[in-house]
Structure 1
Amino acid sequence: MKKAKIYKPNKTAMQSGLGKTDKWILEFEVEDPTKNPLMGWESSSDTYSEIKLEFSTKELAINYAKKKKIDFELIEPKKRKVIKKSYADNFLN
């Protein structure tokens, strides 16, 4: 079976909040992308690259991959470092 990666998506640069980052994604790795000679676009005959499965928890994604005998790589999300700021801090010190 093909290799997949299980990860939690990061927020996009256009997001200020953390919406749509609570799901875990199982996505198959793309193999052998080629350049389309007519249009110059990147294409592939690998239809697994179009599949992106969403799970509510990491455990559900791992159990699904094990049940379907899919080799997977688990990518843990990095912890966000939150620095509390206040407008008043600009005028102190």
Structure 2
Amino acid sequence: MSARIYQRPKNAMQSGKARTSDWLLEFEPAEAKRPDPLMGWAGSGDMKQQVLLKFGSCDEAKAYADRYGIEAHIQPTPPRRLKIQAYADNFR
């Protein structure tokens, strides 16, 4: 059983940073999804794909994974690159 620990990225559609400080533990899929023969929806028998655990810090998430024997891979948060631009630059 393996999982990944990551920090939720900022939503590109909004300017706020709500819920970006939470660290998430998400289980990796154990089996591939396959289409349902009747409806065509993608699905699998792996119920752990539906579990998403939230933690206040990376250390808390790692401690939880160690306590329950979950092999966790920490995905570091990419650095934010800001494009500093003045409004006057639009008219040059």
- The 5-angstrom pairing of residues 64-75 of structure 1 reads 64-75=64-75
Q: Deviations over 1:26-84 (max 9, x none)?
A: 00011222211111111111111110000010000000000111001110010011122
- Unaligned runs of at least 5 residues, structure 2: none
* Distance across 2 between alignment mates of 1:55 and 1:30: 21
Structure 1 runs of 4+ off > 3 angstroms?
88-92
TM-score in terms of structure 2 length? 0.88
Q: Which runs of 5+ in 1 are unaligned?
A: none
Q: Is the 8 A contact 2:27 2:52 kept in 1?
A: yes
Percent identity, please: 37
Taking structure 1 as the reference length, the TM-score comes to 0.87
Structure 2: how far apart are the matches of 1:46 and 1:91? 54
Cross-structure match for 1:43:
43
**2:5 pairs with 1:6:** yes
Aligned residues: 91
